Structure 1
Amino acid sequence: MSGKFEPKTPVQLNPPKDDPISLSELAKANGEQADGKCYVAIKGLVYDVTGNKAYLPGGAYHVFAGKDASKALGKTSTKVEDVDADWSGLTEKEKGTLNDWVTFFSKRYNVVGRVAGATNFE
């Protein structure tokens, strides 16, 4: 029996990287550039979601592309105004939801770095 949040198809992930990624570099990785890179940060960790159409322009989760979406994920929101790295105001239940998203992403997407200067890890 697979564990909670296990992907339906096994994913071979690379060892997580700890490279600093600036906010401007993260913003460029929105799936709209010629290189096609698409990153989403959660609690300061940057995940490479390139290739997942949901994060590309027109996709349901494109609002998260190139940003730290911690607050929005905790609130289970796709509202632009909720896409924010500061998740300190979330309720305990929302913080649990946010941690579930971290688990979900960590089982599917490579960690390509950390947001430079981020302090929202825990």
Structure 2
Amino acid sequence: MSETHHEPEPKNFAPKDPPKLDPPRDDPISLEELARYDGTGPEKRAYVAIKGTVFDVSGKDAYLPGGGYHVFAGKDASRALAQSSLKPEDCRAEYDDLGDKEKTVLNEWMTFFSKRYNIVGKVQK
């Protein structure tokens, strides 16, 4: 008998019921505009940016006030996601100084979000 070697399965980020997503948009969004989408306005819109890409997470209560991930709403949460942090001070765009493991985690979050939420724009630098 020969021994078969199996490679580990790659992480599967596909949701059980994939949403029908709109085509990605690349509308420029300033940091000031992004900050207005923190889930507290009359429309309860919530945006989260990762690596400069802005996702509309409005349909998830977790990003609205009182939700476990509300800290990310209206911000570029790249560093916080890379570090698995819920600290408000970690919700910022800078992540270049992080290690490879943290950058891998960040890329995994990017994949996770891109399979679940509409891309509505890019953060203007």
* TM-score, length-scaled by structure 2: 0.90
The alpha-carbon deviation at position 13 of structure 1 amounts to 0.5
Amino acid at match of 2:76: D
Mapped to 1, the partners of 2:117 and 2:39 lie a distance apart of 15
Pair 1:26 & 2:34 matched? yes
Tell me which structure has the larger Cα radius of gyration: 2
Mapped to 2, the partners of 1:12 and 1:106 lie a distance apart of 12
Pair 1:98 & 2:106 matched? yes
Pair 1:47 & 2:55 matched? yes
The alpha-carbon deviation at position 67 of structure 1 amounts to 0.1
Query: Match of 2:23?
Result: 15
Query: Match of 1:74?
Result: 82
Mapped to 1, the partners of 2:29 and 2:13 lie a distance apart of 27
Q: Report the number of matched residues.
A: 115
Mapped to 1, the partners of 2:68 and 2:99 lie a distance apart of 25
Query: Match of 1:116?
Result: 124
Mapped to 2, the partners of 1:89 and 1:15 lie a distance apart of 32
**Identity percentage of aligned residues:** 59
Amino acid at match of 1:44: G
Unaligned runs of 5+ in 2: 1-10
* TM-score, length-scaled by structure 1: 0.92
The alpha-carbon deviation at position 84 of structure 1 amounts to 0.8
The alpha-carbon deviation at position 63 of structure 1 amounts to 0.3
Amino acid at match of 2:64: L
Runs of 4+ in 1 over 3 A off after TM superposition: none
